[in-house]
Amino acid sequence: MAITRASRHLVQNEPLIFERSAAGKRGYQLPPLDVPAADLTGLGRLRRDQIADFPEVSELEVIRHFTRLSTWNYGVDTGLYPLGSCTMKYNPRVNEQVARLEGLAQGHPLQPEELSQGALRIMHLLSRYLLEITGMDAITLQPAAGAHGEMTGILMIHALLSARGEARHKVLIPDSAHGTNPATAAIAGYQVQNLRSNARGTVDLADLDRVMTDDVAALMLTNPNTLGLFEEDIHRIADLIHERGGLLYMDGANMNALVGRARPGDFGVDVMHLNLHKTFSTPHGGGGPGAGPVAVKSELEPFLPIPVITAGADGRLRADYDRPRTIGRMRSFYGNFGMFVRALAYIMANGCDGLKQTTEDAVLNANYIRRGLEGAYALPYDRPCMHECVFSDQKQQAHGVSTGDIAKRLIDYGFHPYTVSFPLVVRGAMMIEPTESAGRDELDEFIAALRAIAAEAETEPERVKSAPHTTRLSRLDEVSAARQPILRWRR
């Protein structure tokens, strides 16, 4: 079958920079020493005259090396990136333009408050908008990413329960959750108890009723969940947790399905984090950095990390450190400020109607793919999804082709693979999240590619199982790499 490639990338190979090294080449020139030379003899055996095997290359060689490597990147700017659960949406250039304004880009967190009013206002305004979007009461922008936000939220829950004089030891986590949820609970010192999904792929209320005891501090729930399904019983879940003295934490990873349409604060969530690098279009992965604001109901406000940005009667903004019940500081200074600028630019550029449209388009795109691939791949939970859809490789397994093989074959068609083998509740999962950024033509191309691969799996399975074929390197030996990792270059 002829391949229609959605994109082309360079196929030339590139040696390691160590292999370009030749003795004596330099990429720098230092000015003459204008201070007395230090006497290093006191270092004794610790002293080194040269760094062994450091590459010696010219400036232009360094530039060419890294420029060539950069052309191998696959990102949102090169093509569709349907990595489920990651919301790899377009990072609008207006965000970058605003973030590069001199006063913002050159600002320093140690500037006096009177010189930082603009930066503080950005954080204050973003906080207000995020509270409006989530329906929560108070927020911290500090956490550096989603899992850091989870940690912040769980520590606040612990602080609140301690203040109530309650020692609860367990955190409930559905079997469809992101791995960071149980990791967070465990790191915070809680025992993790798994919660089963029912046949519809959502929380099993009977199982929740059974395990929700007075030893449970919180339920960590993702809504919509990782199957892309909305937890329709969310009110009953929240009531059950609250009746028995627990708190409801929501992982906001999938907030791209809700913004402007539903507010977690309205359906009973007590604490939640947002991922600005998912839902609010700041760069995700690679450069990042992330930002994971945590929004809470008023009962938890006293425990927010310090500082909290507050407005005085005169409208001046200040960083408030005098909060005796705070869980402390979670991040140096104010968090990843550059991301706040971008997220605010995104929210303001879209406006209320734009954000709503974004959510609707994201859900529409996922459902377009769900219907477009119907019949070609098995759909374990066959009902309308939210912002992502999860297929399984069940049909292809009959030919020995697995989700990982299909993902690698997708690379030959010029697309970034979907999320492979997650969520764990679906065997051979293929989790696809197109986001609102994909246009219809692109979705059609993607569907055609996956349909072509499904046909290949039947007629020439070996071709799929040995993919990718058009990349510089084909199948890597993942097993040897994991069993005997080589962690540094050697001559």
Q: Which residues bind other proteins (CB under 8 A)?
A: 421, 424, 478-479, 482-483
The upper half-sphere exposure of residue 355, i.e. CA atoms within 13 Å in the direction of its Cβ, equals: 24
Q: What angle do CA 144, 148, 149 make, to 5 degrees?
A: 90
For residue 236, which amino acid is it?
R
Residues 203 and 233: beta-carbon distance below 8 Å: yes
Residue whose CB is less far from other proteins, 387 or 399: 399
Q: Which is nearer to other proteins, 397 or 470 (CB)?
A: 397
Query: Are 256 and 84 in contact, with CB atoms under 8 Å apart?
Result: no
The nearer residue to other proteins, 97 or 480, going by C-beta atoms, is 480
Both tokens assigned to 265: 């604060």
Q: What is the DSSP string of 389-426?
A: EEEESHHHHTTT--HHHHHHHHHHTT----EES-STTS
**Strand pairing category for 294-296 and 138-140:** antiparallel
Closest approach of Cβ 430 to other proteins, in Å?
14
Kindly tell me which of 394 and 470 has the beta carbon lying closer to other proteins: 394
CB of 308 to other proteins, least distance (A): 37
Of 279 and 402, CB closest to other proteins: 402
Q: How far is the CB of 421 from other proteins (least distance, A)?
A: 6
Task: Closer to other proteins by CB, 274 or 429: give it.
Answer: 429
| CB closer to other proteins, 161 vs 192 | 192
Kindly state the smallest distance separating residue 325's Cβ from other proteins, in Å. Answer: 34
Nearer to other proteins, 163 or 424 (CB): 424
CB nearer to other proteins: pick between 44 and 485: 485
Which of residues 372 and 404 has its CB atom nearest to other proteins in the complex?
404
Kindly tell me the number of DSSP H helices and DSSP E strands found in the chain: 14, 12
Smallest distance from other proteins to CB 404, Å: 8
Of the pair 108, 483, the CB lying nearest other proteins is at 483
Distance CA 19, CA 13 (A): 13
227's CB contacts (< 8 A; 6+ apart) are 176, 197, 201, 381, 385, 390, 423, 425, 426
Beta-strand ranges (E) seen in 211-270 are: 216-222, 247-251
- Comparing CA positions, the residue from 466, 465, 482 lying closest to residue 474 is 466
Q: How far apart are CA 154 and CA 159, in angstroms?
A: 9
Three-state DSSP class for residue 436: coil
Q: Tell me how far, at minimum, the Cβ of 424 lies from other proteins, in Å.
A: 7
Query: Whole-number minimum distance, CB 481 to other proteins, in Å?
Result: 9
CA distances from 121 to 63, 92, 475 (A): 39, 22, 51
Hey, how many other C-beta atoms are within 10 angstroms of the C-beta on 208? 21
Cα separation of 341 and 141, whole Å?
A: 12
Contacts of 243 (CB under 8 A, 6+ apart): none
Closest separation in Å from C-beta 435 to other proteins:
26
Cα gap 58→31, rounded to integer Å: 18
User: CB of residue 183 vs other proteins: minimum separation in angstroms?
Assistant: 11
Closest distance of CB 335 from other proteins, Å: 30
Sign of CA dihedral 305, 309, 313, 316: positive
CB of 483 to other proteins, least distance (A): 5
